[in-house]
Amino acid sequence: MTGIEKIKQRILEDAQKEADEIIKAAQDKAQGLKENKEAEAGRLKKQLTKENLEAAREHKKRILTVAQLEMRKKVLAAKQEMMDAVFSGTIDRIKNMPDDEYRKVIASALLNLPIEGDEEVVFSVYDEHRLDQKFLDQVNELLSKQGRKGCLRLAPDRGQFRAGFILRTGGIEINNSFEAVIKTLRDEMEPQVADILFGGLSLDT
């Protein structure tokens, strides 16, 4: 399984894990708003006489219509928040993997890229303890076995991204930080994640 496939798998696992909690939170917010608006309408009705009861009914309809619109907006906001949480949370969960497992993900990502094998690699400041030239030497051995140059070298500086790496070659930077990878994958995977989280409902429902 490639590094990208592992990230995709982790996104789907995170979405499935959080689905029940997400829906319950959104439903609780919506139900609470509905109950408050219905109670407001009920109090108004008790205060009115028979002569203006019809007007009260119309007023109640308007109150409930507004409540439904507000509920819809709150549910939409909750869905978007949860989508953001899944994709952002995936980065943190990968970043917090045990060192050996994390190195395997990075190595797989490097080996599956169409690189020459003589690029400069920028790792995150958060990975100084586990990604260094020694790690790159191990990747270089595997690149050599694939018939590539096997001369990846550690950049003198570190990046401020959370996880992943940046490749430098010929004055060009190729961003493979997990933030950039997840951003790209989100366009592809958002419908699939939404189906897991919201039972097939779109983000605008």
DSSP string, the chain: --HHHHHHHHHHHHHHHHHHHHHHHHHHHHHHHHHHHHHHHHHHHHHS-GGGHHHHHHHHHHHHHHHHHHHHHHHHHHHHHHHHHHHHHHHHHHHTS-HHHHHHHHHHHHHTS---S--EEEEBGGGTTT-SHHHHHHHHHHHHHTTS----EE-SS-BSSSSEEEEEETTEEEEEEHHHHHHHHHHHHHHHHHHHHHTT--TT-
pLDDT in tens, 22-53: 666 666 666 666 666 666 666 656 665 555 66
Tell me, yes or no, whether 92 and 117 share the same domain.
Answer: no
50 belongs to a structural domain = yes
Span of 28-37, 118-127, 132-141 with lowest mean pLDDT: 28-37
Under the banding of pLDDT at 50, 70 and 90, the label for residue 12 is confident
The answer to whether 106 touches 3, Cβ cutoff 8 Å, is yes
Tell me, yes or no, whether 151 and 119 share the same domain.
Answer: yes
pLDDT beyond 70 at 162: yes
Tell me, yes or no, whether 127 and 189 share the same domain.
Answer: no
204 belongs to a structural domain = no
Backbone region of residue 170 per phi and psi (left: phi > 0; alpha: psi in -120 to 50; beta: other values): left
- Mean per-residue pLDDT over the chain, rounded: 83
Tell me, yes or no, whether 32 and 115 share the same domain.
Answer: no
pLDDT beyond 90 at 123: yes
pLDDT beyond 60 at 202: no
Tell me, yes or no, whether 21 and 82 share the same domain.
Answer: yes
Express as a percent the part of the chain with pLDDT over 90.
Answer: 42
Model pTM? 0.67
> For position 84, what pLDDT does the model report?
87
46 belongs to a structural domain = yes
pLDDT beyond 80 at 150: yes
Tell me which residue range forms the domain holding 105. 99-177
Phi and psi at residue 204, to the nearest 5°: -105, 25
pLDDT in tens, 62-95: 777 777 778 778 777 888 888 888 888 888 889 9
154 belongs to a structural domain = yes
Tell me, yes or no, whether 7 and 92 share the same domain.
Answer: yes
Tell me, yes or no, whether 123 and 173 share the same domain.
Answer: yes
Tell me, yes or no, whether 127 and 191 share the same domain.
Answer: no
- Cα separation of 179 and 45, whole Å? 53
Tell me, yes or no, whether 30 and 84 share the same domain.
Answer: yes
- Whole-number Cα distances in Å, 201 to 52, 55, 104: 41, 36, 36
143 belongs to a structural domain = yes
> For position 20, what pLDDT does the model report?
65
Under the banding of pLDDT at 50, 70 and 90, the label for residue 193 is confident
Tell me, yes or no, whether 24 and 60 share the same domain.
Answer: yes
pLDDT beyond 70 at 154: yes
Tell me, yes or no, whether 92 and 127 share the same domain.
Answer: no
Number of domains forming the structure of the chain: 2
